[in-house]
Amino acid sequence: MNKTTVIAVANQKGGVGKSTSVFCLGAGLAREGKKVLLVDVDPQADLSKMLGERAPHELPITLSNLMNDIVSDVDNPGSQISAAIRHHAEGFDFIPSNRTLSAVEVNLVNVMARETVLRRLLDNVKAKYDYVLLDCRPSLGMLVINALSAADQVLIPVQADYLAAEGMTELIGTVQSIKRQINSKLTVGGVFLTMANETNFRKDIVRSVKETYGKYVPVLNTVIPATVRLAEVSTADKSIFKHDPKGRAAESYEKLTKEVMTCGERQRKRTSDLAR
């Protein structure tokens, strides 16, 4: 039985702290002794830049090359994958991206089994890891569909704002469609709020999200606060656990890590029960 849990972190709205959350969650899981791979599935390459690749367009091998290899059905894709994987000082591995991934997304339209290219790629490497986190671009295009098709669950970061929360409906509909047609094991691991201020307004948003979506998807207890130190993570080359280890944001991401691990254990137990 494959013990790996693949998690897509997705929201078609940008600016919700998605890449920061993938970075900090990956670092949090590594701190818990888990073997973790982060995959930047966004041509903007924000995650790759956060992880220290300041000029991702200059990298010789990125996710674009690996996906093209799968499309071309090259022999032994594993060697190219190994060359693409980089190790971060905080104890996890990652596959970077760059702007050439936009061309890959366009070309996927004409590819057989185009929704499963990323899944087939990850099948060559994921057995080495406990968790694989996919940082999705802010859209519902072919790259996001590939990520959802490869994932066991999707985490949805939502900015603590009424309009941002309302925008989840389309994403949840896409998840349900992919579950029916392509990836029957896909579940929503949870929605979690980001960029929240310590006000009564935040409490209203949390209550509103739980009332609106709680009957359809899990709403996690963790709420990520809006802090200056967390905003600095994008250029600090280190996660919040290293940048501000005693701050509120680090405490929140530690809680999120434990919630995600609990979801992962439940997923593995379900898989084990089905295999019997």
Q: What is the pLDDT of residue 228?
A: 94
Mean pLDDT over all residues of the chain? Answer: 90
CA separation, residue 274 to residues 26, 37, 184, 228 (Å): 28, 26, 13, 45
pLDDT surpasses 90 at 201: no
Q: Give me the pLDDT at residue 160, please.
A: 74
pLDDT (0 to 100) of residue 213: 79
Flag whether pLDDT at 164 surpasses 90. Answer: no
Name residues whose C-beta falls within 8 Å of residue 15's C-beta, 6 or more positions apart in sequence.
Answer: 138, 159
Strand bridging mode 36-41 / 131-136: parallel
Q: Which two tokens stand for residue 175?
A: 């998840």
Q: What pLDDT sits at residue 195? A: 87
Mean pLDDT of 205-224: 84
260: tokens are 């995600």
- Nearest residue to 38 (alpha-carbon basis) of 78, 79, 91, 77: 91
Q: What is the pTM of this model?
A: 0.93
Domains of the chain: 5-275 (3.40.50.300)
Question: What is the pairing mode between strands 93-95 and 86-87?
Answer: antiparallel
Contact predicate 94/128, CB 8 Å: no
Q: What is the mean pLDDT of residues 143-147?
A: 97
Asked if the model's pLDDT at residue 202 lies above 80, the reply is no
How far is 241 from 134, CA to CA, in rounded Å? 20
